[in-house]
Amino acid sequence: MNSLLKVLQDGRFHSGQELGSALGISRSAVWKHLQRLEASLGIQLHKVPGRGYRLAEPISLLDREELELEFEQLGWALRVLENTDSTNAEALRLLSLGSPPPFVVLAETQTSGRGRRGREWVSPPAQNLYYTLALTITGGPQRLSGLSLVVGLAVMHALRQLGVERAGVKWPNDIYVDGKKIAGILLELTGDPADVCHVVIGVGINVNMIADAVEIGQAWTSMRVESGNLVDRNELARVLSRSLQHYLNRHTDEGFSGLRAEWESNNIWRGQRCCLSTGSQHIKGLVLGVDEQGALRLMVDGQESRFSGGELSLRLDHDS
């Protein structure tokens, strides 16, 4: 299936005979694979007699061999999967089986992509970046302080390097462009946070999705929507990895306090009236920023309150 997509990814017409020759299979086998592409992966094809088949939209596939060279330079192992339930779940399984960090898991699609607070992360095949980095963290809770915010900075700068210049960070770990979500981050821990633990850093970026192609329950955008061009997901994976390594090294050396000013300067909701959901409770207030540990500073009824935790959700007041 992946070999067939590699031939078709240029978006041009290819005859059944050409596809069969390229893959070493019969034309009837080509037809069966094309049907599977549409039925199981939801990839739309155009069929024109006398011209052949092409994808309704060109795609950018992950290239394992090309990426491995970059990841070797970073010192990170790499696994590229055609599909998985969730790259975070796969990373946690690999850790439980003894795979040594640091390593990255990438997938062409996820069947059960996960966002924060148990939400689904929509994961159409060959459209977006589904990326998880697994690390070992030592030194206690202070090494985890503000980590998700630092990852947000790394993702934001990767997007800006590739032309999404208006990307900004939203507490605690989302990336927005002009009020629309373009990327999210999910951190999960295993082990003892007070001693030695593993952290899996999941990053989902809307790359080549286009409007009306999928149903998502909030305002969203993608790199392709913002730039007007198909984005090379391999280039994005390389740029993101270099950005992550840079910011994670800074976090190790300086802690979040050394990156706080940079995060604040890119905080899109600073000074905005927002509603913080803590499960059953909804707290309205003015966003002041974050403290030295990355906790949210919120002015509530004339007094400053601070909030931290993975189950909190922040929305603009009129959206609450």
Q: Which residues are catalytic?
A: 116, 181, 315
The CA distance from 129 to 67, in Å, is 14
Residue 283 burial (10 A CB sphere; 0-12, 13-18, 19+): middle
Helix, strand, or coil here: 188? strand
Residue 276 burial (10 A CB sphere; 0-12, 13-18, 19+): buried
Determine if the peptide bond prior to 58 is cis (ω within 30°): no
Strand pairing of 103-110 and 45-48?
unpaired
Do the beta carbons of residue 176 and residue 164 sit within 8 Å?
no
The CA distance from 82 to 88, in Å, is 15
Helix, strand, or coil here: 244? helix
**CA-based nearest residue to 86, from 121, 42, 60, 124:** 121
Identify the helix (H) or strand (E) that includes residue 38: helix 27-40
Helix, strand, or coil here: 143? helix
